[in-house]
Amino acid sequence: MTFDSSVVSYGLPLLLGGLVNTVLFSLSAIAIALMLAPVVAVGRLSTRPSLRWMATCYVEAIRNTPFLVQAFLFFYGLAALGIRVDAGVAGIVTLSIFGTATFSESFRGAIRSVPLGQLESARAVGMSYRLALQRIVFPQMWGYLIPSLANQATGIIKECSVLSVITVPEVAMAAQFVIGETFAPAETYAMAAVLYWALTSTVTGLMSLANLWLTKRRRQNLAASLGSPLELDYTEA
Partner 1 sequence: MPEAILPLLRGAIATLEIATCGTCLAVVLGVLAAVVGQAGAPLRALVAAYVSFIRGTPLLVQLLVIYYLLPRIGLDVTPFWAGVVALGVNGGAHIREMIRGALTAIPPGQTEAARALAMPRFWIWARIVLPQVFVLIMPPLTVEFSALLKGSALISIVGYVELTRQAQYQLATSSHPYAVLVATAAIYGVMCLAVGEVTRQLRRTSSRRGVAI
Q: Give the binding site for partner 1 (CB under 8 A).
A: 1, 60-61, 63-70, 72-73, 76-77, 80-81, 154, 158-162, 164-165, 171-172, 175, 185-186, 189-190, 192-193, 196-197, 200-201, 204
Q: Decide whether 70 or 148 has the Cβ nearer to partner 1.
A: 70
* Contact in structure between 95 and 159 (CB atoms under 8 Å): yes
Residue 159: CB minimum distance to partner 1, A: 7
Q: Tell which residue, 153, 196, 201, 203, has the closest CA to residue 15.
A: 196
Residue 29: CB minimum distance to partner 1, A: 14
Q: Decide whether 53 or 76 has the Cβ nearer to partner 1.
A: 76
Q: What are the DSSP calls for the chain, one per residue?
A: ----THHHHHHHHHHHHHHHHHHHHHHHHHHHHHHHHHHHHHHHT-S-HHHHHHHHHHHHHHHTS-HHHHHHIIIIIHHHTT----HHHHHHHHHHHHHHHHHHHHHHHHHHHS-HHHHHHHHHTT--HHHHIIIIIGGGSHHHHHHHHHHHHHHHHHHHGGGGGGT--SHHHHHHHHHHHH--HHHHHHHHHHHHHHHHHHHHHHHHHHHHHHHHHHHHHHHHHHT-TTT---TT-
Residue 67: CB minimum distance to partner 1, A: 7
Residue 158: CB minimum distance to partner 1, A: 4
Q: Decide whether 40 or 173 has the Cβ nearer to partner 1.
A: 173
Q: Tell which residue, 144, 44, 46, has the closest CA to residue 101.
A: 44
Q: Decide whether 75 or 107 has the Cβ nearer to partner 1.
A: 75
Residue 82: CB minimum distance to partner 1, A: 10
Q: Decide whether 17 or 77 has the Cβ nearer to partner 1.
A: 77
The Cα–Cα gap between 7 and 145 comes to: 41
Residue 46: CB minimum distance to partner 1, A: 22
Q: Decide whether 119 or 171 has the Cβ nearer to partner 1.
A: 171
Q: Decide whether 71 or 110 has the Cβ nearer to partner 1.
A: 71
Residue 69: CB minimum distance to partner 1, A: 5
